[in-house]
Structure 1
Amino acid sequence: MNKKIILKTIGRIMIVEAILLVLPIIVSVLYHETWAEASSFVYVSLGSLLLGLGLNHIEANTDRLYATEGYIIAALGWIVISFIGALPFVINGSIPNVIDAFFETASGFTTTGASIINDLSLLNRSTLFWRSFTHLIGGMGFLVFVLAIIPNSESNSVHVMKAEMPGPTFGKLVSKLSNTARILYLIYLLMTLVLIVLLMGAGAPGFDAVLLAFGAAGTGGFGVLNGSIAPYNSLAIEMILGIAMIVFGVNFNLYFLIVSRKWRESLKDEELKWYLGIIAFATLCIAFNLYSHQYSSSRVLRDSFFTVSSLITTTGYSTADFGQWPLFSQLILLGIMFVGGMAGSTAGGLKVSRIAVLVKSALAEVKRSNHPHRVMAVMFNKHAVSHPDLRAVLNYLVIYAGIFIISLIFISIEAPDFMTAFSSVAATFNNIGPGLAEVGPTANYSNYGNFNTLILGLTMLIGRLEIIPMIILLSPSTWHSRI
């Protein structure tokens, strides 16, 4: 294993984060904050820059990376950026506890949106900005951003990008991988800019519009006000965000096809049809259930659509306390938490493509039982799913279930009831944010102690990186390998 090139790459990641930490400093200056409020970002930025430059000067025997190194860089890189990003919270006193600050920052970068902060009004503008800005960078992938601005060799970049990009499949949009990263981020940032303009046009204050757009684009869900989106009480803002969350939950490869004037091909995508179908089905089921329980008729479709959009894209914004909804509606919401968005999007969860392949595989197995001599291929997007790909999906589900159960056992030590424990793990592992019961949309994760807070923070990172990179990083056999 090429440990020196791993450290060198981590150094580059730290340099990029140091540069990004300049942005909250600029916000602090614009809003005339005191030196005490801005200094935390200055100190951390300088420290990250100096340490990153030191690591970047390490001379490696070879610059070549293999798959193992790519996974380690992805996992270690995300831990490092979360820890460094947490330091301003600790230094300026917003979150004095290091573990709580790590949880909050990991929640931001992984676009989970789970929080331990009870009163957002106590945070200054620069801290609020940095908290939400982590969503924007983490949404498309921090390492993708690094590759977009500091491209490495093609053979090295592919392993790092493959380890970080969410979903069961990975592919380049164009021949050169660094150009792929730039294209993805350009589309992503342009869409975010459009969303900011739309929110401002709908009446959201400029600062709020920027941060809300960061949360929707990264499908993260950190709010600006206590109460998430509900305090705005604006149908226009809710609908813009509701549609935006769905848009950012779509595979960004399809947007590249649209830009390339291949929009018909993008509309034929089978995963897109499943994704929109699940959203429509879940929205109608919940709306009918709420209406039958005398829920306000004027808000039935409005709250059902927004909540489904928020949870299936793992954003976590809320306009209603769905923890008080009927059990049927809560179970539907719990189900779509696991489904998540499309592969190649900023959303978390298992991904729609995996769910579709698993359902088709199960149906094929039933048919095969009735016709044992009949060959039945699992088809997706008009192509037969290969046995290695199908095996990978099934294996991922088994590992996913194993990690989920282990996390649930740990969380049950402090959780007050099963629904709180189960939804805590579901909401963090799938990068959603709010769960049910004691961690519902009107509550947060501040009641957990340091141990469970750390476990949930690591669970968010494991879920964002889709398990394998973190397993490889924590495996003793990985580090026994020779350089």
Structure 2
Amino acid sequence: MPDRAKHLSRGNVTHLVGAILLGNAAALLLCALAGVVLRDGSFLPLLLSALLAAAVGGAARYFTHIPEDINFREAFATVSLAWITVATFGALPFLFSGAIPAPAAALFESISGFTTTGSTVLADIEVVAPGILLWRSTTQWLGGMGIIVLGVAILPYLGVGGMQLFRMEAPGPTQERLRPRIRETAKLLWLVYAGLTVVVGGLYLIGGMTFFDAVNHALTTMPTGGFSTRNASMGAFSPFIQWVAIVFMYLAGINFVLHYRALSRGTRPYWADREWRLYTAIILAATVLVMYSLSGTGLGFERILRDALFQVLAVTTTTGYGTADYEAWTPFAQLVLFLLFFVGGMAGSTGGGPKVIRVLLILKHGMLEIRRYLHPRAVMLVKVGGQAVPEPVMLNVVAFMLMYVGLFGVGTLAMTALGLSLPSAAGAAATAISNVGPGLDEVGPTDNFGFLPPQGQLILAFLMLVGRLELYTVFLLFHPGLWRR
């Protein structure tokens, strides 16, 4: 690992961010070409956005040197600045097309896309030009595995320094390696991700979606994004399509390392993984609780099972699709879903939230502290899968969860100061920091965030970014030691 004490080279960071911005420009250009085919007036806004991104990204690369390696500080700075930069340029098509004329709202939509949150300011999605909707979905697909992981996979000059980038973007207390070279690891996971995207898109087509709808929803399912081309989200489609979404939301919330290993070892890697077992148990338990709550609605068993399982997965994996308005459900069912906001997917998945592994470690740590009261002289360590968790890792997890809850509290306070009711404020803060999408009350599954004042949208956009990049990565930007020469 490169020495953390090395000073940060602004040139290295600028060069890397510029390279990533060029990739963003290429994606914009592809959507612009789709706009030509669609003939919906989106070509020029997308083309202009692509040219601006290419100009800035190209200049950043031209006036800096290719870094031979990157150190710890540069990795942190690159991750956060790259996300902020691509999200800023990603907002331009919304502004230029007039789909979202307010700058703060356009930035909110773009950050919601790149962080795979899925919250929207659009009141009527179906009147937006299809080319703009395609770009909107593309932001989630790019953000799903992480702009940085994709950059590591296609930019060969990162070399060993790419390991730090991968660790920043592939979340979790520790990072399991598939290959000694991070570039090869990223490529393998990217192929799994792309392959599953193609499969789910094909199944959506078979289920009756139009080609355009299938492409867009494939781009937003595997990244656990949740953007849709329909106002009713997945509720606009058949039960078959909803079951397909259920299966692939579940898969998207699983560590992609396990998917890769399952290609050669079958289901054994899943069953052997403690985090996967807890992830599955939480989903099953929450589904049973919600089904019990819905048992008096008069709906058939299949409908109750489908609605309950769909919404539990949509929240747990932080996909955010909807098939039903859970605001009309019982307070008990709503509380179950709200608690799932603070679970998230597995580490190494595309899901947001604190991650199941952290929940597991916190539970084990709590039980260990109870045992310590009974046996004060015993030496006890938290263990996962038979291996002891190092004390620094455990302290990091506890600190992370405390910061997470603290940020949720501060976000809720800020939203109430802007005039939101307490349920709305708590729902908005929780859905933003956990990258879920819909919240509660005024920002529920059938509502949008367009009514918020600009400062409210920017606060939530910041929470989305902080949540997606695992808190520390963003906060380090504000530490003077990062920039000290």
TM-score for the superposition, normalised by structure 1? 0.96
Quick one: distance in 2 between partners of 1:290 and 1:33? 42
**Match among 370, 374, 384 for residue 388 of structure 2:** 384
For each residue in 1:42-81, what CA deviation from the matched residue of structure 2 results, as whole angstroms up to 9, or x when unmatched? 1111111121111112345964322221111111110000
* Aligned length in residues: 478
Deviation at 1:130, TM superposition (A): 0.5
Identity, % of aligned positions: 34
For each residue in 1:155-204, what CA deviation from the matched residue of structure 2 results, as whole angstroms up to 9, or x when unmatched? 32111221112222223211111111111111100011000111111111
1:413 is aligned to 2:420: no
1:67 is aligned to 2:72: yes
Quick one: distance in 2 between partners of 1:69 and 1:417? 41
> Any gaps of 5 or more consecutive residues in structure 2?
1-7
Aligned to 1:90: 95
**Match among 446, 466, 469 for residue 470 of structure 2:** 466
Quick one: distance in 1 between partners of 2:61 and 2:376? 59
Aligned to 1:438: 442
For the 8 Å contact 2:160–2:181, the answer to whether it is kept is: no
For the 8 Å contact 1:229–1:317, the answer to whether it is kept is: yes
Deviation at 1:27, TM superposition (A): 1.3
TM-score for the superposition, normalised by structure 2? 0.96
1:111 is aligned to 2:133: no
Aligned to 2:4: none
Deviation at 1:476, TM superposition (A): 3.4
For each residue in 1:311-367, what CA deviation from the matched residue of structure 2 results, as whole angstroms up to 9, or x when unmatched? 100000011110121111111101111101000000001100100111011011111
For each residue in 1:102-154, what CA deviation from the matched residue of structure 2 results, as whole angstroms up to 9, or x when unmatched? 00010011110000000112111110100011111101001111111112333
Seen in structure 2, the aligned counterparts of structure 1 residues 279 and 415 have a Cα distance that, compared at 3 Å, is farther
Aligned to 2:185: 180
**Match among 302, 308, 311 for residue 304 of structure 1:** 308
1:266 is aligned to 2:260: no
Secondary structure, aligned partner of 2:295? helix
**Match among 159, 162, 165 for residue 160 of structure 1:** 165
**Match among 9, 19, 25 for residue 18 of structure 1:** 25
Quick one: distance in 1 between partners of 2:174 and 2:302? 41
Quick one: distance in 2 between partners of 1:50 and 1:68? 26
Quick one: distance in 1 between partners of 2:176 and 2:419? 41
1:427 is aligned to 2:397: no
Aligned to 1:399: 403
1:231 is aligned to 2:236: yes
Aligned to 1:342: 346
Aligned to 1:352: 356
Quick one: distance in 2 between partners of 1:442 and 1:231? 13
**Match among 2, 5, 10 for residue 12 of structure 2:** 5
Quick one: distance in 1 between partners of 2:67 and 2:182? 20
For the 8 Å contact 1:5–1:63, the answer to whether it is kept is: no
Aligned to 1:364: 368
Aligned residue identity for 1:175? P
Quick one: distance in 1 between partners of 2:95 and 2:292? 46
Deviation at 1:420, TM superposition (A): 0.2
Aligned to 2:81: 76
For each residue in 1:179-234, what CA deviation from the matched residue of structure 2 results, as whole angstroms up to 9, or x when unmatched? 111111111000110001111111111111111111111101011111111122x1
Secondary structure, aligned partner of 1:239? helix
Deviation at 1:288, TM superposition (A): 0.6
Aligned residue identity for 1:226? N
For the 8 Å contact 1:151–1:157, the answer to whether it is kept is: no
Deviation at 1:404, TM superposition (A): 1.9
**Match among 29, 33, 36 for residue 36 of structure 2:** 29
1:139 is aligned to 2:144: yes
Quick one: distance in 1 between partners of 2:169 and 2:49? 25
Aligned residue identity for 1:476? P
**Match among 29, 43, 46 for residue 48 of structure 2:** 43
Written as runs of structure 1 = structure 2, the 5 A alignment for 1:280-319 is 280-292=284-296, 297=301, 299-319=303-323
For the 8 Å contact 1:18–1:49, the answer to whether it is kept is: yes
For the 8 Å contact 1:151–1:178, the answer to whether it is kept is: yes
Seen in structure 2, the aligned counterparts of structure 1 residues 61 and 8 have a Cα distance that, compared at 3 Å, is closer
Aligned to 2:226: 221
Aligned to 1:245: 249
Secondary structure, aligned partner of 1:388? helix
Seen in structure 2, the aligned counterparts of structure 1 residues 178 and 62 have a Cα distance that, compared at 3 Å, is closer
Quick one: distance in 1 between partners of 2:194 and 2:55? 29
For the 8 Å contact 1:108–1:135, the answer to whether it is kept is: yes
Secondary structure, aligned partner of 1:226? coil
For each residue in 1:253-305, what CA deviation from the matched residue of structure 2 results, as whole angstroms up to 9, or x when unmatched? 10121124364233211101000000000000110111146566552111101
Aligned residue identity for 1:6? V
Quick one: distance in 2 between partners of 1:213 and 1:59? 37
Aligned residue identity for 1:459? L
For the 8 Å contact 2:67–2:158, the answer to whether it is kept is: no
Aligned residue identity for 1:288? Y
